[in-house]
Structure 1
Amino acid sequence: MLNRVVLVGRLTRDPELRYTPNGQAVANFTLAVDRPFTNQQGTREADFLNCVVWRRQAENVANFLKKGSLAGVDGRIQSRSYDNQEGRRVYITEVVAESVQFLEPKSAKTGGENQGQGNQYGGGYGDDPYASSAPPQNQGSSYGGGNNQGRSNQNQRQDDPFADEGQPIDISDDDLPF
């Protein structure tokens, strides 16, 4: 039997960090994950998945991720139930994260207040709430800060992120994923 989940999405709110009575950290957050297809109106929908992470990873998530942050989650699906105050049985299905990867550098500006624009689940680029997380191309940046001079159209998407037109590539340590 196999129970494995791999997700990439943006946090819909800041993670909520709590501690159990015996001192174990637990963080809850919701991840908005785009569906790979569009609906009948031609817009892309998203699923909002509840995630829980434990121990040191929970503290890291609470300290370094915020609403709009891009994150990767590797874990498993778990179902549980309890009786609420009215005596009704409540069922909860959530992703128990075994690993959470921070997919943007700490200095990345996500969220509507930093970009001057945003979407309904707290980050991204452009007016489309289901747009991809690619940065807008009119910012004049090439991957890693290469020289953009001599391009006929700054808004044209660069297909090869490693094309540097023979110029040195300026990369800071913050740009490296390791």
Structure 2
Amino acid sequence: MKCKVQLIGRLGSDADINTLPNGQVVATLSVVTEEYWKDKQGNPQKRATWHRVKFWNESTVGFIQRNIGKGQLVEIEGSFRYEEYDDSKGVHHKAALINGSNILPLHPLTKAHDNAATSDNGPDNDDQIPF
């Protein structure tokens, strides 16, 4: 059986694109989802949850490089798993990870993001993004 995941959230930063020693490319995304509700007293509440998503398909990684950026609202499909690793101090960790299979931008990148990505003197929109 497979655990299918569907997220709708915003990217906390541009994708981290890496090429592994075997030549395979991987895109790692940090995506935040938010839940809203009212407590028993009627006060609005909000919870943000951060998710780490990896894409391994080369054509999808290329699509992410060209079309996906910080602050953008996206829909992601994939499968859930745990990744285990030992840190530099030898401590063993187990972290939740989503292996992405599909990504859909729910709004296009803004022109300001495109300019900032291609020019050192482009506008810096970090102050406008709440994370």
TM-score, scaled relative to structure 1:
0.58
Aligned residues: 119
Indicate the RMSD between aligned Cα atoms, in angstroms.
Answer: 2.6
* Alpha-carbon distance in 1 for matches of 2:2, 2:66: 31
Partner of 1:37: 37
Q: What percent identity do the matched residue pairs reach?
A: 22
5 Å matches for 1:1-178?
1-38=1-38, 41-54=43-56, 55-107=58-110, 118-121=128-131
* Alpha-carbon distance in 2 for matches of 1:60, 1:66: 11
Q: Unpaired runs of 5+ in structure 1?
A: 122-178
Closer, same or farther in 2 for the Cα pair 1:38/1:76, shift >3 Å?
farther
Quote how far apart the aligned CAs of 1:73 are. Answer: 0.3
* Alpha-carbon distance in 2 for matches of 1:53, 1:17: 10
> Which is greater in Rg?
1
SS in 2 for 1:43: strand
**CA offset digits 1:93-117 (Å, max 9, x no partner):** 111100011111345767xx56xx7
The higher-RCO structure (CA 8 Å, 6+ apart) is 2
* Alpha-carbon distance in 2 for matches of 1:101, 1:69: 10
**Mapped contact 1:25–1:59 kept (Cα < 8 A):** no
Residue 98 of structure 2 aligns with an amino acid whose one-letter code is V
**Mapped contact 1:38–1:45 kept (Cα < 8 A):** no
Quote how far apart the aligned CAs of 1:4 are. Answer: 0.3
**Mapped contact 2:72–2:109 kept (Cα < 8 A):** no
Runs of 4+ in 1 over 3 A off after TM superposition: 38-41, 106-110
Higher helix share: 2
Quote how far apart the aligned CAs of 1:43 are. Answer: 3.3
SS in 1 for 2:104: strand
* Alpha-carbon distance in 2 for matches of 1:32, 1:44: 12
* Alpha-carbon distance in 2 for matches of 1:36, 1:62: 31
TM-score, scaled relative to structure 2:
0.77
